[in-house]
Amino acid sequence: MENTYSQHTEHEQADVSTKHIWKTFWILLGITVVEVALAFLHLETGFPARWVLNGIFIILTLFKAFFIVAEFMHLGHEVKNLILTILLPLLLFIWFIIAFLYDGESWKNMRKDLAPGTPKVEAPVAKPAHGGH
Amino acid sequence: MESAVTAKKKWWAGGHSPFNVSYGKLMMWYFLMSDAFTFGAFLIAYGTVRFSSTAWPDPNEVFHSFPFMHGVDWPLVFVSVMTFILIMSSVTMVLAVHAGHHMQKAKVVKWLSWTIVGGIAFLSCQAWEWTHLHEVGAWWGSNPFHNADGSAPMNSNFTDFFFTITGFHGLHVTSGVVLNIIILINVLKGTYEHRGHYEMVEKVGLYWHFVDLVWVFVFTCFYLL
């Protein structure tokens, strides 16, 4: 809502606002540097474990996304109506990601089970239920 | 300050915009939301196929080259430079929008020009990366990279998704650069000075930041995970 600033506050706001922009820039750059550093650490030492590392990457990515949308795109300073209108539909992604990745995982398991040379897992035969007494 | 005003106003009672933004900005937001779903669909499709594969190439082995440095093994370095360029161009774009709020035409021209330079630099980097990957045999339908577990490539899913998604993003960067150039010409002609506000800079700014936002996800999905 910066375009609604009245004349006399304009110059005071200018400095504060520019500082804010650069602060956001340093945060984004810092997170990226941390990501790359962690990737190198993993390459060299194998630490942290792959799944931990991936979790950290996803969380840091969401952090970056938050700063870009809230500060650079200014959404954090808009009215609540607009913020919710934009963000609520994106919640669908939670379902999309869970459903599709689960589907992919199950395809992989089927491929593994049906691959040539894979021994069939025999269901334990429950004798008492079958044979007549 | 803003929230205090919001609480008292009846946003939906008519007389003013319930979103407190202009029609054009709101429509840009709606467009970006739909575009987010398009990119999201691409990335989720990539994730699904990757999850369904028993083996996948290691990005640190695929992306390890740097321009003019033959035979080096620098995983992630070049793509980090690309990320830095795009973040930097996002900053110059905010500074252009900021200058626009204060009606400082010369500053808008300066920062918008730097944004365009950043966009072109990013595209040049991507052109180099694609050329390099093409030279080692990677393209749509052609995957020369061995999997992380050492097995031979089974299909071209990896390269297909890589070129499609980074290509679609590159196309967005390209149209962003074109839009920025058009707006810069208008700024130079004094169109917005005459109009009394630089809101068009804000609108292309939103688009430009969105392109940066998508890159953050592409960077994670293809180069880090």
For residue B5, the surrounding DSSP H or E stretch is helix B2-8
Q: Is residue B188 part of a domain?
A: yes
Q: Give CA angle at A104 (A99, A108), nearest 5°.
A: 145
**A106, closest residue in chain B (CA to CA):** B52
pLDDT at B19: 87
Low-confidence ranges of chain A (pLDDT < 50): 1-8, 131-133
ipTM for the predicted complex: 0.88
Contact yes or no for A97 and B44 at CB 8 A: yes
Chain A partners of B63 at a C-beta cutoff of 8 Å? none
Q: How big is the A-B interface in CB pairs under 8 Å?
A: 138
Domain around B82:
22-224
Phi, psi torsion values for B144, nearest 5 degrees = -85, -5
- CATH number of the domain bearing residue B186: 1.20.120.80
- Output the tens digit of pLDDT for each of chain B's 225 residues: 445 555 567 777 777 778 888 999 999 999 999 999 999 999 999 999 999 998 999 988 888 888 877 777 788 889 999 999 999 999 999 999 999 999 999 999 999 999 999 999 999 999 999 999 999 999 999 999 999 998 999 899 999 999 999 999 999 999 999 999 999 999 999 999 999 999 999 999 999 999 999 999 999 999 998
Q: Using one digit for the tens of pLDDT, what is the confidence trace for A107-118?
A: 999 988 887 777
Q: Does A81 touch chain B (CB under 8 A)?
A: yes
Q: How far apart are CA B111 and CA B98, in angstroms?
A: 10
pLDDT at A48: 87
Q: Does A125 touch chain B (CB under 8 A)?
A: no
For residue B18, the surrounding DSSP H or E stretch is none
Burial class (CB in 10 A: 0-12, 13-18, 19+), B114: middle
- Chain A nearest-CA distance from B108, in A, is 14
Q: Does A97 touch chain B (CB under 8 A)?
A: yes
pLDDT at A46: 85
pLDDT at A125: 57
Q: How far apart are CA B172 and CA B31, in angstroms?
A: 13
Listing DSSP states for B58-75 in one string gives -HHHHS--BTTBTT---T
Give the 3-state secondary structure of residue B148: coil
Domains in chain B: how many in total?
A: 1
**Per-residue DSSP letter, A77:** G
Q: Is residue B6 part of a domain?
A: no
Q: Is residue B204 part of a domain?
A: yes
Q: How far apart are CA B28 and CA B41, in angstroms?
A: 20
